[in-house]
Amino acid sequence: MKTPLLLINFKTYIEATGKKSIELAKIAEQVAREQGVNFAVAPQFSDLKPVSEAVDIPVFSQHIDPIRPGAYTGHVLAEAVRSAGAGGTLINHSERRIKISEIEETLEIARSAELATIVCANTSGVGAAVAALDPDMVAIEPPELIGSGVAVSKAQPELITRTVTRIRDVNKTVKILCGAGVSYADDVISALTLGTDGVLVASSVVKNKDPKKLLQEMAGAMLDHRGLRLSASASN
């Protein structure tokens, strides 16, 4: 999975359900292609197949269960989301939390199904704990800011820097994302400047009257950040 990454979590918002999930995913794909940035989308399970058939950007499942194929009525099987077109999965999102023992097992199952993994963490300590299990990415998301419109990267920058430091103590290579309240291009710049490899966004994009415009601005921020880094390294 390429970084910096911006993943749009569709959650169970009606604005991104059914046909609307395809429309939003297509907007994300168009902006990503036109501006040359890495976007991914996480629609609901029932929309994984139509979305992944409609777009050529990474599609994530919002969750999988720590189960193997068999008699588990109502559970979500890694192989099922994979065959529906998902290339990765969120694990342990604040709205779908599981135990640490289940996170470990889910990671093994996801790997064997060839799904990229983003494990969410509500605190820096949980971030370090799950980083030790070696997922592809860890996403720090303080629950109290989710859906608030107040960005974690602005309101709690010290949480991000502490999480990055604690994760690097146990895992030098895992990618680190942050999310919760990310609403503006500037929030994306702040997140990247604090040392993350990208952001998770939901309500600001999904519930926006003009999601394309906001995604263009956020993509612009990702490019500006890259430019700033290049000019800093050129002057060193």
Which residue ranges make up the site for ligand G3P (CB under 6 A)?
Answer: 9, 93, 141, 146-147, 179-182, 200-204
Cβ atoms of 22 and 46 closer than 8 Å: no
The verdict on whether 93 is a catalytic residue reads yes
Q: Which is nearer to ligand G3P, 147 or 220 (CB)?
A: 147
For the bound state, the minimum distance from the C-beta of residue 200 to ligand G3P, rounded and expressed in Å, comes to 4
Cβ atoms of 188 and 155 closer than 8 Å: no
Q: Which is nearer to ligand G3P, 109 or 218 (CB)?
A: 218
Q: Which is nearer to ligand G3P, 90 or 131 (CB)?
A: 90
For the bound state, the minimum distance from the C-beta of residue 232 to ligand G3P, rounded and expressed in Å, comes to 29
CB-based burial label for 148 (10 Å; 0-12, 13-18, 19+): middle
Sign of CA dihedral 112, 114, 118, 120: negative
Please identify which of the residues 15, 53, 108, 141 carries the catalytic annotation. Answer: 141
**Amino acid letter for position 105:** E
Query: Which tokens hold the place of 53?
Result: 């058939």
Please report which residue ranges of 113-156 form alpha helices under DSSP H: 124-131, 152-155
CB atoms within 10 A of CB 64: 27
For the bound state, the minimum distance from the C-beta of residue 122 to ligand G3P, rounded and expressed in Å, comes to 10
How many alpha carbons lie under 13 Å from residue 78 in its C-beta half-sphere?
21
Q: Which is nearer to ligand G3P, 189 or 202 (CB)?
A: 202
For the bound state, the minimum distance from the C-beta of residue 58 to ligand G3P, rounded and expressed in Å, comes to 15
For the bound state, the minimum distance from the C-beta of residue 234 to ligand G3P, rounded and expressed in Å, comes to 34
Strands (E), the chain: 5-9, 38-42, 60-61, 88-91, 116-121, 137-140, 175-179, 198-201
**C-alpha separations of 164 from 137, 161, 177, 222 in Å:** 12, 5, 9, 19
Please identify which of the residues 15, 93, 114, 225 carries the catalytic annotation. Answer: 93
- The residue whose Cβ lies closest to ligand G3P is 203
Q: Which is nearer to ligand G3P, 7 or 129 (CB)?
A: 7
> Catalytic residue positions?
93, 141
